[in-house]
């Protein structure tokens, strides 16, 4: 046992020092790579916090519906509230990299598909990455097949799939003046250029730009109205439905049956602090996500660039960038687009042309893996989680068996599909946008909860069936 | 892949969900406890770290008592008494 602990600590040190050496090598090659290194270490920090707090967005709704446990839902909402305040501070000081996305029902539809997928796969997009770091290969299947390959195929396929696109979208897409080789074949291109780009973007602070002076619009509009009040409302609903009954019962036994507002507030506080580990990590994740934006913005100012693609071009890597001169560089915590790039990179090695669609050719580019900044954030998450799992003596290499292959594959593919129409996953589409005053975040969140609810119903039936078989012999 | 739910002795069961990932360990734990009578015990064996936190809170909320928590080489072993 002691040997195992010692071995785990050594591995944690090896991984950390390897990343330090890699970071120094990047610095030696070119100072611009500090941009990529910053992503890596923020990813590393996210990975450590996600693993230590067992922080998974899939668990937030799944454990609530399946087991009546609100731990993770509380953690996510706490993180969201803290992050919204920091987002507001950054916006007020003009240091934010956040931008809202086109709003519409596509967000909720996409969220439902993603919600189904994350429960089946046993982890959301960020959760799956940190679980890979714990040695969980079921989640690796979900990441590689679904989030990487699945997404890349999803944004590139045309042929029969073009027929599902309404003619109005097709006409609108063709009128945008995009190169014909990009827009001609590919359902996702027509969806993006013919539908998504026509939708308005809304940020709550913009609605208050006349009525609230100065920076107050960010604090009251984006943070308070856009994130904190909805999060508090959800916390009250969770408390009322899942926690109140048992808490009040115990409370009545102690104080002789009288219950007042103080007891209800104590019940809420008890729910929030029930899993100190998760709630504390929620606070830290919220703060770190804000600091991440600040650092990326600082590096953009220092290097006089708004996208890492500009730095790649300066370094002579012109093939890495899109026709717009960009690569995928969100400037904040994001998960799925870089996985799609990784999938496309693999498929290109097998001769698949990935440069004939909007997603890669125009919006995100397709950089070499070692020069892909956001991909390094994902690698950082995996290694950060691996270090923390090693330090907690919880690392265990687990290969999927039997049904887990099915859940990993199916869940991963659904997560991949559910990430793209919304232009993001549980992090990019829900967490970042909800905290930034973009109502899209909540539209996606509602979808995720609906999808998770359906998947939990299915798993309840499935486990009941398997338990019945086990109990036959009793 | 099979879940193992066995009777180990009088009023004592073993639920082995080793190898399973979320949400299976917590779901099988909940369902096992539902099948048992009050006062009976179950030893839950799992190796999915994130289930540990959820199973703990599940027991707290539903009035079950975790008598023992052990960690053995990446495996978690919880002895739970149904409330």
Provide mean pLDDT across the span A210-238. Answer: 95
Residue A249 in contact with partner chain B when CB distance is under 8 A = no
- Joined together, the tokens standing for residue A415 give 């997560």
| Whole-number pLDDT of residue A74 | 93
Question: How near does any CA of chain B get to the CA of A122, in Å?
Answer: 5
A333 DSSP assignment: -
Residue of A nearest to B49 (CA): A394
Question: How near does any CA of chain A get to the CA of B80, in Å?
Answer: 16
Are A460 and B27 in contact (CB < 8 Å)? yes
Question: How near does any CA of chain B get to the CA of A402, in Å?
Answer: 5
Question: How near does any CA of chain A get to the CA of B68, in Å?
Answer: 18
Residue B8 in contact with partner chain A when CB distance is under 8 A = no
The H or E element containing residue A87 is helix A71-92
- Joined together, the tokens standing for residue A465 give 């069936």
Are A395 and B74 in contact (CB < 8 Å)? yes
How far CA A404 is from CA of A80, A407, A459, in Å, comes to: 31, 5, 12
Residue of A nearest to B8 (CA): A474
The residues, any chain, with a CB within 8 Å of residue B75's CB and separated by 6 or more, are: A396, B18, B45, B46, B47
Provide mean pLDDT across the span B23-33. Answer: 93
Residue whose C-alpha is closest to residue B21's, from A403, A336, A387, A66: A403
Question: How near does any CA of chain B get to the CA of A248, in Å?
Answer: 12
Residue whose C-alpha is closest to residue A138's, from B50, B45, B5, B82: B50
| Whole-number pLDDT of residue A205 | 96
| Whole-number pLDDT of residue B74 | 80
Ordered DSSP codes for A409-464: HHHHHHHHHHHTTTTS-IIIIIIHHHHTT-THHHHHHHHHHHHHHHHHHHHHHHHH
Kindly report which listed range (A165-169, A202-206, A279-283) carries the lowest average pLDDT score.
Answer: A279-283
Residue A241 in contact with partner chain B when CB distance is under 8 A = no
Residue of B nearest to A56 (CA): B50
Are A395 and B26 in contact (CB < 8 Å)? no
Q: Name residues 45-64 of chain B within 8 A of A (Cβ).
A: 47-50, 52-54, 56-58, 60-63
Residue A259 reports pLDDT greater than 90: no
Taking only the tens place, the pLDDT of each residue in B43-77 is 999 999 889 989 998 998 888 999 999 988 789 99
CB contacts, 8 Å: B63 with chain A: 246
Q: Name residues 252-291 of chain A within 8 A of B (Cβ).
A: 274-275, 277-278
Annotated active-site residue in B6, B8, B22, B75: B22
Pairing, β B41-46 against β B4-9: unpaired
Residue of A nearest to B58 (CA): A69
Please indicate, yes or no, whether the overall pTM of this predicted structure exceeds 0.95.
no
ipTM of the complex: 0.87
Kindly report which listed range (A356-360, A470-474, B17-21) carries the lowest average pLDDT score.
Answer: A470-474
Taking only the tens place, the pLDDT of each residue in A8-26 is 999 999 999 999 999 999 9
Which of B1, B47, B54 lies nearest to residue A63, judging by beta carbons?
B54
Question: Which runs of consecutive H residues, i.e. helices, occur in A304-372?
Answer: 308-314, 336-349
Are B35 and A392 in contact (CB < 8 Å)? no
Looking at every residue in chain B, the average pLDDT score rounds to 92
- Joined together, the tokens standing for residue A203 give 């940020």
Provide mean pLDDT across the span A375-397. Answer: 95
Residue A474 reports pLDDT greater than 70: no
| Whole-number pLDDT of residue A267 | 93
Widest CA span in chain B? 31
- Residue A353: helix, strand or coil by DSSP? coil
Are B1 and A67 in contact (CB < 8 Å)? no
Residues of chain A with pLDDT > 70: what percent? 99
Calpha distance A363→B60 (Å, rounded): 49
Structure-token match 């809170």, residue found: B57
Structure-token match 């019940």, residue found: A267
Residue B71 in contact with partner chain A when CB distance is under 8 A = yes
Q: Name residues 320-349 of chain A within 8 A of B (Cβ).
A: none
Q: Mutate which of B1, B3, B7, B27 to disrupt the A interface (most A C-beta within 10 Å)?
A: B27
Are B21 and A278 in contact (CB < 8 Å)? no
Provide mean pLDDT across the span A294-302. Answer: 96
Are A467 and B3 in contact (CB < 8 Å)? yes
Provide mean pLDDT across the span A120-126. Answer: 94
Residue A8 in contact with partner chain B when CB distance is under 8 A = no
| Whole-number pLDDT of residue A1 | 63
CB contacts, 8 Å: B20 with chain A: 404
Are A467 and B54 in contact (CB < 8 Å)? no
Which of B20, B32, B50 lies nearest to residue A54, judging by beta carbons?
B50
Are B4 and A470 in contact (CB < 8 Å)? yes
B59 is catalytic: no
Looking at every residue in chain A, the average pLDDT score rounds to 94
Which of B21, B28, B53 lies nearest to residue A277, judging by beta carbons?
B53
Residue A52 in contact with partner chain B when CB distance is under 8 A = no
Residue B1 reports pLDDT greater than 80: no
Greater confidence (B61 vs A380) lies with A380
- Residue A275: helix, strand or coil by DSSP? coil
Q: Name residues 12-31 of chain B within 8 A of A (Cβ).
A: 19-24, 26-28, 30-31
Are A62 and B62 in contact (CB < 8 Å)? no
Q: Name residues 142-201 of chain A within 8 A of B (Cβ).
A: none
């Amino acid at each position: 046992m002691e040997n195992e602990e010692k071995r785990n600590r050594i591995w944690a040190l090896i991984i950390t020092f390897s990343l330090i050496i890699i970071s120094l090598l990047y610095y030696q090659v070119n100072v611009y790579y500090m941009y990529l290194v910053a992503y890596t270490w923020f990813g590393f920090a996210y990975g450590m916090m996600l693993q230590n707090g067992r922080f998974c967005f899939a668990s937030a709704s799944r454990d609530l519906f399946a087991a009546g446990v609100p731990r993770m839902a509380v953690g996510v909402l706490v993180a969201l509230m803290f992050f919204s305040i920091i987002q507001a501070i950054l916006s007020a000081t003009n240091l934010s990299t956040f931008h809202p996305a086109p709003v519409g029902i596509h967000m909720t539809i996409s969220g439902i598909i993603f919600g189904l997928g994350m429960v089946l796969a046993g982890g959301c997009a960020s959760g799956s990455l940190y679980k890979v770091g714990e040695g969980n290969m079921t989640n690796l299947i979900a990441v590689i097949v679904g989030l990487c390959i699945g997404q890349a195929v999803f944004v590139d396929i045309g042929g029969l799939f073009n027929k599902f696109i309404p003619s109005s979208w097709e006409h609108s897409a063709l009128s945008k003046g995009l190169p014909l080789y990009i827009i001609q074949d590919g359902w996702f291109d027509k969806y993006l250029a013919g539908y998504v780009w026509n939708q308005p973007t809304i940020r709550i602070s913009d609605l208050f730009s006349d009525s609230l002076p100065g920076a107050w619009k960010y604090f009251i509009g984006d943070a308070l109205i856009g994130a904190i009040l909805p999060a508090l409302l959800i916390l009250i609903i969770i408390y009322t439905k899942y926690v109140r009954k048992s808490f009040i019962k115990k409370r009545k036994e102690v104080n002789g049956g009288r219950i007042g507002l103080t007891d209800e507030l104590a019940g809420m506080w008890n729910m929030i602090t029930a899993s100190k580990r998760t709630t504390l990590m929620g606070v830290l994740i919220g703060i770190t996500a804000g600091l991440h934006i600040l650092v990326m913005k600082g590096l953009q100012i220092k290097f006089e660039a708004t996208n890492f693609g500009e730095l790649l071009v300066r370094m002579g890597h012109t093939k890495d960038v899109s026709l717009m001169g960009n690569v995928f560089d969100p400037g904040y915590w994001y998960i799925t687009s870089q996985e799609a790039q990784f999938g496309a990179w693999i498929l290109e090695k097998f001769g698949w042309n990935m440069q004939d669609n909007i997603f890669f050719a125009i919006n995100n580019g397709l950089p070499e893996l070692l020069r892909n900044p956001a991909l390094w954030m994902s690698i950082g998450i995996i290694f950060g989680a691996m270090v923390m799992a090693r330090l907690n003596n919880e690392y265990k290499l687990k290969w999927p068996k039997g049904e887990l292959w099915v859940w990993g594959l199916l869940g991963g593919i659904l997560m991949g599909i559910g990430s793209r129409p919304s232009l993001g996953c549980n992090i990019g589409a829900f967490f970042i946008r909800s905290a930034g005053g973009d109502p899209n975040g909540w539209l996606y969140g509602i979808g995720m909860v609906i999808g998770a609810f359906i998947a939990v119903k299915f798993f309840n039936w499935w486990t009941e069936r398997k338990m019945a078989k086990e109990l036959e012999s009793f | 892949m099979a879940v193992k739910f066995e009777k180990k002795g009088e009023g004592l069961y073993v639920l082995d969900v080793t190898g399973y990932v979320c949400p299976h360990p917590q779901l099988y734990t909940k369902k096992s406890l539902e099948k048992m009578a009050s006062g009976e015990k179950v030893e839950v064996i799992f190796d999915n770290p994130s289930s540990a936190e959820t199973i703990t809170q599940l027991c707290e909320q539903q009035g079950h008592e975790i008598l023992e928590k052990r960690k053995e080489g990446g495996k978690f072993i919880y002895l739970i008494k149904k409330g």
